[in-house]
Chains A and B, each alone.
Chain A
Amino acid sequence: MTEHVSIRLASERVNHCVSSSNDTPRFYTPGEVISGMQDFMRGHGTYVEEDCLKSSVAGVMQKVNKLICVRPLKSRYVGEIGDVVVGRVLEVQQKRWKVETNSRLDSVLQLSSVNLPGGELRRRSAEDEQMMRKHLKEGDLISAEVQSVFTDGSLSLHTRSLKYGKLAQGVLVKVFPSLIKRRKNHFHNLPCGVSMIIGNNGFIWISPKPQGMMVDGNEDEIINYEMQPVDSTDREIIARLKNCIAALVASKMMLDDTSIMFAFEESLKYEEVKELLDPEAMLDIAFLTQHRLNNIMEE
């Protein structure tokens, strides 16, 4: 029985930067002067002080004509209508659930914006209200879509499609939302045999591929089916994907199915998944992934 323990010094820390020095964008810190105020417009993440436009967050500058914005590197999720999110139910209230989606305020899932179990369309009655906790209870994870944004910035979600709803067994990985690349599709069945939901809010759900949908069948059977142990090959792939995402995040690389799949393929040279926790291995994978992404861009 051998234990694996590694303690390194701060001075031996690995620099996770993978981009070459000429394409790193200029990084602004809070309070830094972006420009003199001459006919520029003040956008998000900026403020005016002493006739200068200054950054109020740490991030990169974006300029559209005369409008200057600074997009923060790390921030809470700012929702947009149509985004796919993964969230956790915090509270069951009257006719709605409170959902944690990594945004500044808790999001809301109305009882009227879920598909009732059984799939039939009818009016939501008082009994449905009493059955809410049976449907989704505190701690449950769901995938959903942003239906609308309230004036205070909090989100209203809906799950009125078969692809949304409660999530069963798997692993949740939390990253910052700014690293998620917006794509047409955020639900992926990866070729390595597991499925992944890349939520726009920075929550990534990795789970074993469902073996055939269980649409009919009573509730007990579904619960029984959900509780089946995951087999060890799926478990290894999930763990590997999780560590690959962590490696890409450490190097601040954008996440989508291509980059994650590249990282997964590059990581296969490390036989044991736990080797990927080492900072050197993480950097190696991020570097190789970046290299492959650059190759695709050139083609």
Chain B
Amino acid sequence: MAGVLLSRTEKVFIIDGVKDEYRSDGRSTIDYRPMELETNVVSHASGSARLRLANTDILVGIKTEIDVPKPDKPALGKIDFFVDCSANATPEFEGRGGEQLANSISNMMQRAYQSPQAFDLKQLCIFEGKQCWKLYVDILILECGGNLCDAVSLAVKAALFNTKIPFVKAALMDGGNIDLQLSDDPYDSKLLDVGSAPLLVTLCKIGNKCVVDPTAEEEKCSSVSLIVGVTGNRKYYSDDDTEELPAFQPKCSAISMHGPGSITTTTLRNAINQGIIAAVCLDEALGKTVVRERRDIEKFKRHSYGFLK
């Protein structure tokens, strides 16, 4: 995505490596690089998260606002994604340079979150047909090291998990208008149910194989990449293990292809399966991490790290 130059021989080296299922840092085609996550990094946002995957650095902040629901969907809230590519990531993003990439990521996120099985917008409803919550998800790309989509979706899910929505204390009906009184107490708030929120998995086709978590160099070698959005499992995000949940089946909520190349039907089918398996593993790892962090906060064990240190 970002401008990396590679010589022909370096490309041959990477392509042969993928053929042998042995990438230049020793990973096989299905391994992810280690990630680091911190939630609640922006104090004035309702929810926030920062994810670092090797050199890819993503900051997500979520703002809540009261809005009027759409007339055709009176019982649903709204969610809006906005991606900003910081020129710090690469000089190409300066001015309007990153706009195309930003739009493609935000469209992909929007589509993945559209399905009611992926993210339940009913929980954002306040008064049916009158008022609802609107979530503004602001995604800031601070550094590009390949695999932006996966990192963005993980960070967004972590930030949504961390989002607090204030309770409505009282509502005054004045003719057709509703005047809401919100609770001022930051602890008097509800959390969102984000267990089923989708994660995106990018599968980069290099040679005849697909790899997950491509580095920027590997992205340069691939002619086409497939992005699948797969719904998450509520089980990994609930605190108490006793709660009975229905059997979980991962579902694909969005698929898109990027790049000028093409994929045969068998490769496509294999790639989608590989993506779903990867998404389930990612989901489990993310769930464990965010639940662990929440427990640490409850015990006041946590120090804020942020960007300094």
Contact = CB atoms under 8 A, between A and B. Distances in A.
Interface stretch (B15-23, B57-65, B91-99, B260-268): B15-23
B292 A170 contact: no
Interface string A6-28: 11111101000000000000000
Interface stretch (A37-45, A65-73, A226-234): A226-234
Interface residues of A, number: 43
Nearest to B306: A10
Contacts of B305: 10-11, 13
A88 interface: yes
Contacts of B285: 5-7
Contacts of A221: none
Contacts of A236: 22, 26
B110 interface: no
A268 to B, nearest CB: 13
B6 interface: yes
B217 to A, nearest CB: 9
A243 interface: yes
A250 to B, nearest CB: 12
A139 B26 contact: no
B30 A3 contact: yes
A53 interface: no
Interface stretch (B79-87, B175-183, B275-283): B275-283
A2 B32 CA distance: 11
Nearest to B212: A3
A139 B37 contact: no
Contacts of B23: 239
A9 B36 contact: yes
Given A5-B32, A9-B38, A10-B305, A239 B5 contact: no
A7 B37 contact: yes
B9 A8 contact: no
A226 B7 CA distance: 12
Contact of A274 (B20, B26, B277): B26
A255 interface: no
B8 interface: yes
B32 A3 contact: yes
B35 interface: yes
A293 interface: no
Contacts of B16: 229-230
B241 interface: no
Contacts of A10: 36-38, 50, 305-306
Contacts of A169: 9-10, 12-13
Interface stretch (A109-117, A211-219, A275-283): A275-283
A279 B34 CA distance: 8
B44 interface: no
Given A13-B305, A170-B13, A230-B13, A140 B7 contact: yes
B243 interface: no
B22 A277 contact: no
Interface string B283-309: 011101100110010000011011000
B38 A242 contact: no
Given A140-B7, A172-B10, A232-B22, A1 B282 contact: no
A180 interface: no
B122 to A, nearest CB: 29
Contacts of B277: 1, 3
A9 B295 CA distance: 12
A11 B22 contact: no
Contacts of B33: 277
Interface string A133-174: 000001111000000000000000000000000011111100
B24 interface: yes
A232 B20 contact: yes
B12 A277 contact: no
A5 B282 contact: yes
Given A7-B289, A9-B293, A10-B305, A139 B24 contact: no
A171 B277 CA distance: 30
B114 interface: no
Contacts of B30: 1-4
A171 B6 CA distance: 11
Contacts of B281: 2-3, 5
A275 B285 CA distance: 17
Contacts of A276: 26
Given A4-B32, A9-B293, A239 B26 contact: yes
Contacts of A52: none
Contact of B34 (A6, A90, A167): A6
Contact of B278 (A3, A171, A230): A3
A54 interface: no
Contact of A227 (B12, B20, B293, B306): B12
Given A3-B278, A242-B25, 11 more contacts: A4-B32, A5-B284, A7-B154, A8-B289, A170-B9, A170-B10, A274-B26, A274-B31, A277-B34, A278-B34, A279-B34
Pairs A-B, 10 closest by C-beta atoms: A273-B26, A10-B38, A3-B281, A10-B305, A239-B26, A139-B5, A274-B26, A229-B16, A169-B13, A5-B285
22 contacts: A1-B277, A3-B212, A5-B282, A7-B289, A9-B289, A10-B37, A88-B5, A139-B5, A139-B7, A141-B10, A167-B7, A169-B9, A171-B24, A172-B10, A227-B12, A230-B16, A232-B22, A243-B26, A272-B26, A273-B25, A274-B27, A277-B27
